[in-house]
Amino acid sequence: MTRKARLKMKFFFWIFLFLIKGLNAQDSTIRIEGYTQGTTYHITYIDTLERDFQPEIETILHNFDLSVSTYNPNSIISKINNNVPNVIVDQYFTECFNKAKEVWKHTNGAFDPTVFPLVNLWGFGPLSSKTIDKSKIDSIKQFVSFQLIDLKEGKIIKKDKRVRLDFNAFAQGYSVDVIAAFLRSRNVQSYVVEIGGEVAANGQKPNGNYWQIGIEKPIDNHDSTNPIKAIATLHNMALATSGNYRKFFIENGERFAHHIDPKTGYPAKNKLLSASVFAKDCISSDAYATGILVMGLEKAIAFLSLHPELQAYLIYADNNSSDGYKVYETPLINSYITEIK
């Protein structure tokens, strides 16, 4: 798959919006951008020494791809998926695996990285076929379960060699955390890191304001940005949005979005259009946003009531609304969100 094609498949909810507003060269503001993981990244940070960290960041992102990118046939995750013997995992893979196991348990399986073969079957992965065949779906479901794979002493153990992993649902969020940690290690305390639409921010802009990011209206759109529904102000936190209005296809009049329910083997069918999740780290925001979108509105509300460490802004379909959708907000969301009327 070409970089251009992969770029179109990513979620560009709000990457260009408020990252540079109110900044100027006299503020020792450094802005860098580039390509990684089949998408773009934008990083802005305040550094009185005016250091350019882009070469180091590019190296980190390259090594990250070599660990967990299913689009790289030589990555650790690709070798594990292809059952290459004696693969030793690294820290990136280990962190992703352990986080995936945690989120899988907390979401009662709504989030499951072993869904990879189904993602490909439905045409949303690097080995896409887009074949809608119930017999194939039922066959694949037999080896889609995180119970069938484990990590012990740096090595993956599979109960079924057909099990394949996909960390794409939250790897970008984790890469945001990795870059944020790198900046802090260089004594940079004010920054915003965005990769593929997932973002983490720390500190304040030179004018004393917190960093702000826009959240799009959930309008079906493969290739470009949508109007802004709300503005999120990030007080030293991360935000990830998962939606079903970017990656989808329509066949025989039926719409199929890319979030696959591992329990049914089919794309999730519910009222949720997008889930924006705030958390302390972006890997959590990204992974739980995906799991919530698969759960659906009612289960998501019940889940969030048990997890106050997560705050969420959920947009869901409602035919009785003039816009065709409504919003559910967790109790503290007003501290972060300003809606645009």
Domain for residue 43, yes or no? no
What are residue 243's DSSP bridge partners? 274
**Could you give the C-alpha distances from 81 to 84, 99, 160, 222, 287, in angstroms and in order?**
8, 18, 11, 29, 20
* Residues 38/44/49/55 CA torsion (nearest 10 deg): 0
Which residue is it, tokens 């060699």? 161
Domains of the chain: total: 1
Domain for residue 116, yes or no? yes
Q: With 60 as the cut, is the pLDDT of residue 14 above it?
A: no
Percent of the chain topping pLDDT 90: 60
Assign residue 94 the CATH number of its domain.
1.10.3980.10
Domain for residue 125, yes or no? yes
- Position 122 scores a pLDDT of 67
AA letter at 340: I
Domain for residue 246, yes or no? no
- Position 19 scores a pLDDT of 45
User: pLDDT tens digits for 239-268?
Assistant: 999 877 555 444 554 545 557 887 887 777
Residue 120 belongs to what H/E stretch? helix 116-121
* Contact yes or no for 257/248 (Cβ under 8 A): yes
Domain for residue 46, yes or no? no
Q: How far is C-alpha 72 from the geometric centre of its chain's CA atoms? A: 18
User: pLDDT tens digits for 181-236?
Assistant: 999 999 999 999 999 889 999 999 888 899 999 888 776 555 556 688 899 999 99
Q: With 60 as the cut, is the pLDDT of residue 32 above it?
A: yes
Domain for residue 191, yes or no? no
Whole-model pTM: value is 0.86
Closest C-alpha among 71, 36, 58, 23 to residue 182: 58
Domain for residue 119, yes or no? yes
* Contact yes or no for 167/7 (Cβ under 8 A): no
Using pLDDT thresholds of 50, 70 and 90, give the confidence band for residue 59.
very high
What sign does the CA torsion over 43, 45, 48, 53 have? negative
Q: With 50 as the cut, is the pLDDT of residue 298 above it?
A: yes
Which residue is it, tokens 């890191």? 193
Residue 142 structural domain:
70-158
**SS3 state of residue 173:** helix
AA letter at 8: K
* Contact yes or no for 220/234 (Cβ under 8 A): no
Instruction: Report which listed range, 254-263, 283-292, 330-339, is most confident.
Output: 283-292
Domain for residue 130, yes or no? yes
